[in-house]
Amino acid sequence: MDTFLELRDIDKSFPGVHAVDHVNIEVGRAEVHMLLGENGAGKSTLMKILSGAQQADSGTIIYNGRKINVPTPKRALELGIGMVYQELSLVPTLTVAENIVLGSDIAKNRLGVLDWDSIDRRANEALETLGVNFDTSKKVEELGLGKQQLVEIAKIISHEADLIILDEPTSALTEAEQEKLFNTINRLKKQDVSFIYITHKMEEVFELGDRITVLRNGKSINTLPAAEADEDQLVKMMVGRRLENQYPKEEIEPKETILEVKDLTTKKLKGISFSLRRGEILGLGGLLGAGRSELLEAIFGLREVKSGSILLDGKPLNLRSPVDAVKNNIALLTKDRHNGLVETLQVDENITMADIEEISNSGWLRLTEEEKIAEKFIKELEIATPSLDQHVKFLSGGNQQKVVLAKWLASNADVFLLHEPTRGIDVGTKVEVYNLMNDLAAEGKGIILVSSELPELLSMSDRILVLREGKIVSEHDRDDVTQEEIVANAAGASITD
Amino acid sequence: MSESKSVENTESKSPMEKIGQNVYQKVKSSGVILPLILLIAALSIISPDFLTINNFKNILRQVSVNLIFSVGTAFVILTGGIDVSVGAMLAFSAVIMAGLMPTVGMFPAVLIGLAIGFSLGLFNGLAVAWLKLPAFIVTLAMMLAARAFAFIYTGGYPVSNIPMSFRFLGSGYIGPFPVPVIISLGVLLIGVLVLKYTTLGRFIYGIGGNRDAVKLSGVNVIKYEALAYGINGLLAALAGVIMTARLSSAVPSIAESAPFDAIAAVVIGGVSLSGGKGSLWGVFVGVLIFGVISNGLNLMSVPSFWQNAVRGIVIFGAILFDRLRARS
């Protein structure tokens, strides 16, 4: 394999963090190079340096045999380096076509007037290359997250990049869309396009990767061919130790009922009834749009309840807003971490956010009390932060998630609604989150888990309800259900083969 | 300036040291203290009358009204909002207060004036936080309407039937200190304490940083966001009390440029217009910068038409300086 890109001795520090520590990586022509590592390992920073969004403190980039400087993302694109970000960088109010050609020159004619025919043509070509097909005159904000991700990828493809960096591209894609993306990657590979692919999902590593580089704490630990790697070994390299069990579920005998939902109907939900017991983890399965989020949000006071009731410890609740929910010790861990944190506030200030009554006296904050509580949870959850005063935006994703969890632990919630609690966090932290769920169950809390990762849902739940079109379509015990059954029930198909 | 950013052991420090260090950090991080020092140095060289205690007392007195309503505006901007009705709320509450003073007496009139300011501000706040209307438009509407009512109530004439004893608030002294200076510094100090040590302050920063996250933590965001606007109205009215006392009359056309002076001082002081970041110490420095400039230009007898041009250039320069500094 001839070397197409070489990152030599790249180094980058932020205040208090050595994000990228003298990293060397080589990527061959037409190679899919997988980049693995826990949150905060330095993958994203390294790729931002390569794509011009950030500048290295030192180090050299050799690209196509030449030493290059990448001061801006625009320059990177001109050189043929395109990056598809995890946080979408589309303009929501522009159309699909406009977004795809944004930043390129061909869309203008000699008079400088936009050439709409060529814009549409190009956008459609890009989507065709991806093997997908949807209306390019739609505004991006009208599309679901998965389709937006595809537009983002199409945009980079349309720039005819020679090196495409993908940062967890499948996190919002459906199975079918994911398949199309993989096909496109394999097709572009044949046209000598190289890829750097960041992911947390092991299946992708082996399905797509040619070689794998593992980063840990900003350093490159090892680069090895995918054919010679195995999962245990990679996890060990990422975490720095061997993980005994990826899903450390503990059996806990459920106690009395804590939450009861009776015939709950909202705009999207149709007559949902179930009960949750203390010490139980109840999983909710279903496709996107099946009503799982809606159900959590209704229990948290974010949805208008048309009929039916929600009972806590046997007494009916009137939940008009999250204020009422939190007062009744219900906690919601949102799917998007950014809705759980105020990034401009400090770690301790975030931890006590839902528990302000505990640390205040007729409106005045007791800051020493706050510090005590924050310190306790930082220690308990092993949150890696240089200090209590650190602003949350400087923490890695996994640690941010722990801060959100700490917030709800501090609030002494009894019912935890966990929406994708391990989304975008690394293996090591995932296990910590699972252990925490076990602890909560053991303390007699009730937990509802919504997760799109089926292995997680099946391993951690005691019982699983599958939703489809706002209704509960099936209920399963954890001991006698397979992934296939859940998928089939969620999709409304029967298992035939 | 020291390079170390490490976390010092805060326990070993006395509370006074902690506060002192805190003030220093806040002012330093607001970035504008350096332009202020440069400005003072330059003016000291240009004008021999500048660097005198009397002149500094003057500057503090001149900025006292601005400082009061800038603190209020900072509360609003910290939530991520904006309020352009400060001057109108000030004028409206001031003319009503002055109009009522002869009949209901001084203290009740002042209290009514403050209550009116608070209510108008709260109205703005509820429209923004509860009805989810855009802050700029809501307060623009308030600006037009409140100003109009100030004119309607007075028929366009100043209300000057003010008791002599009331003027103490505008031009009196306690010891060597002018009363408006004491009041404005008191407002600043209380503002700092509220922002740092109360739940209101915490949530004002939180709402500006990420309103959804605060709401999803079970906090009544509507209440706290609306209160920030209410406080702005209250402080506008307080500024109106002092202006009325100083001028011995309440003028319906007064303080037209107040919202813009306040916004400029707040932003120059390092408060982010998108909310969630900044401190009142920075706002204090921002207010001082404008005070020092006006004072210096007056000492140099620069024609008033030119003064606004200089102010404009300073606003631009200070913001540019701050951005460049943040980038490096």
| Cβ proximity of B328 and B75 under 8 Å | no
Q: Which helix (H) or strand (E) holds A35?
A: strand A32-36
pLDDT at A98: 85
**Subunit contact A342:B276, Cβ cutoff 8 A:** yes
Which of B197, B202, B216 is facing A334, going by the closest CB pair?
B216
Contact list, B213 vs chain A (CB under 8 Å): 338-342, 353
Does residue B150 fall inside a structural domain? yes
Write the residue in A15, A326, A353 that is nearest to B206 by C-beta: A353
Identify which has the larger pLDDT, A209 or A158. Answer: A209
B-chain residue closest to A364, CA distance: B198
Cβ distance of A364 and B220 shorter than 8 Å:
no
Do residue A325 and residue B218 have CB atoms under 8 angstroms apart? Answer: yes
The reply to whether residue B210 touches residue A353, judged by beta carbons under 8 angstroms, is: no
- Tell me which amino acid residue B257 is: S
pLDDT digits (tens, 9 = 90+) for B137-156: 999 999 999 999 999 999 99
Nearest beta carbon to residue A407 from set B198, B217, B276:
B217
Interface test with A, best of B196, B215, B216, B219 (most A CBs within 10 A): B216
Average pLDDT, integer, range A395-400 = 85
In a domain, B214, yes or no: yes
Q: What CATH number has the domain bearing residue B306?
A: 1.10.3470
* Most A CBs within 10 Å, among B26, B194, B217, to test the A interface: B217
Q: Is the pLDDT of residue B9 over 50?
A: no
pLDDT per residue over A59-80, tens digit each? 999 998 899 999 998 889 889 9
Q: Which of residues 183-242 of B touch A (CB under 8 A)?
A: 197-200, 202-203, 205-206, 208-210, 212-220
Has residue B2 got a pLDDT over 60?
A: no
What are the beta bridge partners of residue A21? none
The per-residue pLDDT for range A247-306, each reduced to its tens digit, is 888 888 889 999 999 999 999 999 999 999 999 999 999 887 789 999 999 999 999 999
Residue A240 CB neighbours (<10 A) = 12
Confidence at residue A1, expressed as pLDDT on a 0 to 100 scale: 63
Angle at A256 between CA A250 and CA A261, to 5 degrees: 100
* Residue range(s) defining the domain that contains residue B199: 17-327
Contacts of B214 in chain A (CB under 8 A): 342, 353
* Minimum mean pLDDT range among A184-193, B186-195, B232-241: A184-193
* Amino acid code (one letter) for A95: T
* CA nearest to A45, candidates A21, A74, A68: A21
Residue A286 confidence (pLDDT):
87
Domains along chain A with CATH numbers? 3-239 (3.40.50.300), 257-491 (3.40.50.300)
Question: A327's torsion region: left (phi>0), alpha (psi -120 to 50) or beta?
Answer: alpha
Contact B202 A367 (CB under 8 A): no
Q: Is A327 on the interface with B (CB under 8 A)?
A: yes
pLDDT in tens, B69-120: 999 999 999 999 999 999 999 999 999 999 999 999 999 999 999 999 999 9
Q: Which of A232, A272, A231, A293 is nearest to A423 (CA)?
A: A293
Q: Does A394 touch chain B (CB under 8 A)?
A: no
pLDDT band of residue B16 (cuts 50, 70, 90) is: low
pLDDT score of B174 more than 90: yes
Residue B1 located in a structural domain: no
Q: Do B219 and A353 touch (CB under 8 A)?
A: yes
If you ran DSSP here, which 8-state letter would residue B6 be given?
A: P
User: pLDDT tens digit string along B232-241?
Assistant: 999 999 999 9
Name the helix (H) or strand (E) containing A213. strand A211-216
Interface contact A345-B209, CB threshold 8 A: yes
Of the two residues B67 and A104, the one the predictor is more confident about is B67
The pLDDT, as a whole number, for residue B126 is: 98
Asked if the structure places residue B72 within a domain, the reply is: yes
Res B6: pLDDT? 38
Secondary structure (3-state) at A347: helix
- The set of residues, in sequence order, having a beta carbon less than 8 Å from that of A418 and lying 6+ positions away, is A333, A437, A447, A448, A449, A450
- Give the per-residue pLDDT at A495: 44
Neighbour-count burial of B147, counting CB atoms closer than 10 A to its CB (0-12 exposed, 13-18 middle, 19+ buried): buried
Nearest to A363 among B200, B212, B218 (CB): B200
Name which residue leads in pLDDT, A421 or A88. A421
Q: Taking 80 as the threshold, does the pLDDT of residue A238 lie above it? A: yes
Arithmetic mean of pLDDT, A406-433: 90
Percentage with pLDDT > 70 across chain B: 89
How many structural domains is chain B composed of?
1
Query: For residue B6, is it within any domain?
Result: no
Q: Which of the pair, B218 or B328, is modelled with greater confidence?
A: B218
- Asked whether residue B209 is domain-assigned, the answer is yes
- The pLDDT score that the predictor gives to residue A110 is 67
Residue A496 has pLDDT above 50, yes or no: no
In a domain, B10, yes or no: no
Rounded CA separation A290/A298 (Å): 14
- Let me know if residue B103 belongs to a domain: yes
Q: In chain A, what residues touch B7 (CB-CB under 8 Å)? A: 386-387, 389
pLDDT band at A118 (very low <50, low <70, confident <90, very high): confident
pLDDT (tens digit per residue) in B255-286? 999 999 999 999 888 898 889 999 999 999 99
